[in-house]
Structures are given as C-alpha cells and as structure tokens.
Amino acid sequence: MSNKIITLEIDLHPSDNQRLASLCGPFDDNIKHLERRLGVEINYRGHFFTIVGQTHTAAAALDIIKTLYVATAPLRGEIADIEPEQIHLAIKESGVLEQQHESSIRYGKEVVVKTKKGVIKPRTPNQAQYLMNMVTHDITFGVGPAGTGKTYLAVAAAVDALERQEIRRILLTRPAVEAGEKLGFLPGDLSQKVDPYLRPLYDALFEMLGFERVEKLIERNVIEVAPLAYMRGRTLNDAFIILDESQNTTVEQMKMFLTRIGFNSRAVITGDVTQIDLPRGAKSGLRHAIEVLSQVEEISFNFFQAEDVVRHPVVARIVNAYEQWEAQDQKQRQLHEQRRREERAAGLLSSVVSETSPAQPTSSNPHESHLS
C-alpha cells in the first residue's frame, strides 16, 4: 500500500446550496469528522472539493463524499440532514481503515501508543497483539491475571485515540461490587462515591496526561467516570469505553454494557476470571461473554498468562502458584465428583437388583406343621 501523498479533486453535481450545507453539516462538522477519521485534508469552495492525503485514504474520502452527496437528494421535496451514523457506515463500508490496519500488520510495524509522557510499548507478544486488536476491533476483551497490563494498555490506547482525535471522549466504568451498586448511602457527589473503585484507571490517566490536564478534561466531560449501574439507557457515540474488573459484572450487566456502544465507538473489557467477588450462585458476566461471543468476528479475545506479568517478578511466581493450586484443586474436585457418581450408580444398581430378585419362600414353623 503506497504512502504517497496525492491531491484529488471533485466538482459535485447538480449544484444545490441546501444539499451542500447538509453534506458539510453545521460548522463543517461532517467534513471535520471525515478528516479526523481518515487522516486527510479536505477543502472546498462552493461545490468544488480538493482532498489531500495518502493514495488509499484520499480515494476513499472522495468516494464517501460522492456517496453522501447522493444521500442528500430531495425526498418528497425535503433535503435530509447527513447524520454521524451515515458517515460512520460509509467509512466502514469503504473498508479503508481495515486496509490501514492490515498494512501495519503485514509490514511488521511496531505497535506503540504515543502519549504526552512518552511512547508506551508492549513488553510481550500478547500485549502487542492486544494493542493491535484494540485498533482493529470495535470490542476487545483482555482477560488474565493481575499485572499483565490489561487496564494500563487499554487506558493508553484510549488516550492515543483521543490525542489523534479519532474519538471525542473517554468513558471509564467499573462495577462497584463491594457497595452492591447501591452508592446512595456513601457521602459526597457521584465522583467522590465511585473514586475508590476507579482509582487504578485514574492513576493510569494521571501518569499519561498529567494531573491538571486530566482534571480539565473531566470538567469538560471529555473524560467521564461512572459506575456501571449508571450506564443503563445510554447510547455512546464517538467514545472509547473501558469496563474494568468485568469479572464482577452479572450476565445482565454485561449485556447491558455491550449494547450501549454506538457509532464510531470502541469498547475494551478487562477482567480476571480467577478473582470473582460476586455473591455465591451469581454467574460472572465475563465468563458468560467468553462462552457466548467467542465466535463473533468483530470481537477479539486476548488471554494473558503468567509470563505476561510486568510487575515485580514475584507476582508472576504468585500467579503461577495459584494457577497450579487451582488446577490441582479442580482435578481433585473432578475425581471426588466422579467417585460420587460411581457410588450413586452402584447404589441405584443395588436397589434395582434387590427389587427384581424373586422373593424367598417363608419357612413354616415345624411345630405348627406337626400340630396340624
């Protein structure tokens, strides 16, 4: 794929100022959206457009502009406004973003995330694949033990997307299991109530953007922090959404979260299925999602192992020790369950045999026989 910069031109016909206004959107928002998503520069005077960019992205932008202009044709005398959803679908149908990602993979470009504090690089192959999947998939699951970089890399990818203006806001959420999602009894406003549960996400943001900038972005609602319970009923467009500690969601909460994702949004769900804090008998939404969604092409699953732990070396050994113990414990449980089934089957067989055996004749009293 060529990285050559080219200039393309197009004159839209038939000329119609109302259709042109619909195409460009208020304050040229639609044009800016195309520029941001495709990495091109679009200028226009009247109905004459010039597009500057790499060969494939400039050509895609030209085709999308033509398609959207056709969509502004009057219907029953009225000119419809071009909505963000139409732009998103037009970009997706063009396949240009997928071509860009495939090119990066094919030519072995290093996957990195750029933030104000420097470049963040993956330290293991699993982390590199995780970062790539967050770019190429709308929904990405990161599942594995503590210390593997699941949450940190997700926040880094969100910050990178915000800095590139690929999205307009970052939304961070986490189930507050310890409070049973009932936060009303806690003192303070919503942010103060949920801060303790979202501290790991804040720490990563502060490290990458600095405390002052994070505070300003939160004030402007560019970065939003909310408990999972407050996501119901919302549709999130142009956002990078991170659900942390997802092993503590119920099946219903996970389904609710996944159906909040709107146009031009990406979601990353992180969790550790070995650290579930749900009440006994409640099924983890993360476990259920892995079972139900593993064959959906648009969703990627990334499973981290002990070798991906990037904290203190002893953490990896702790994770390994727990994994070995859990494997042995599961094996013993299976053997115990098998023995119980065998004993139950033997008991049933014994009762069936006793029921089907012919009854033995009752011996008569010899004295009674003599007297008769």
* Pick from 234, 243, 222: nearest CA to 159: 222
What local confidence, expressed as pLDDT, does residue 367 receive? 55
Q: How much is the pLDDT for 316?
A: 59
**Residue in 68, 63, 102 with CA at minimum distance from that of residue 85:** 68
In sequence order, the 6+-apart residues with CB closer than 8 A to the CB of 77 are none
Residues 6+ apart with CB under 8 A from 270: 141, 142, 143, 150, 151, 154, 242, 243, 244, 245, 246
Measured over the CA atoms of residue 196, residue 197, residue 199 and residue 202, the dihedral's sign is negative
Host H or E run for residue 69: helix 55-71
Match 């092993």 to its residue by tokens: 247
pLDDT of residue 341: 83
Give the neighbor-by-neighbor strand order of the sheet with 41-45. Answer: 5-11, 48-54, 41-45
The neighbouring-strand residues paired with 49 are 10, 44
Task: Return the bridge partners of 10, or none.
Answer: 49
The span from the CA of 372 to the CA of 365, in Å, is: 11
Q: Which pairing describes strands 118-120 and 139-143: parallel, antiparallel, or unpaired?
A: unpaired
Residue pair 206/214 in contact (Cβ under 8 Å)? The answer is yes
Phi, psi angles (nearest 5°) of residue 223: -110, 125
Tokens of 314: 């002893």
CA distance 338 to 353: 22
Domains and CATH numbers, the chain: 5-101 (3.30.1370.10), 111-321 (3.40.50.300)
Token output for 44: 């226009």
Q: How far apart are CA 45 and CA 10, in angstroms?
A: 11
Round to whole Å and give the CA distance between 248 and 197. 12
- Strand runs labelled E in the chain: 5-11, 41-45, 48-54, 113-115, 118-120, 139-143, 169-174, 223-227, 239-243, 266-271, 299-303
Residue numbers in the chain where pLDDT is lower than 70 = 1-3, 97-117, 177-197, 310-317, 319, 323, 352-353, 355-372
The C-alpha atoms of residue 204 and residue 33 are separated, in whole angstroms, by 28
pTM exceeds 0.85: no
Q: What is the pLDDT of residues 71-130, one digit of tens each?
A: 998 887 788 888 877 888 888 788 776 665 554 444 445 566 666 667 788 888 888 889
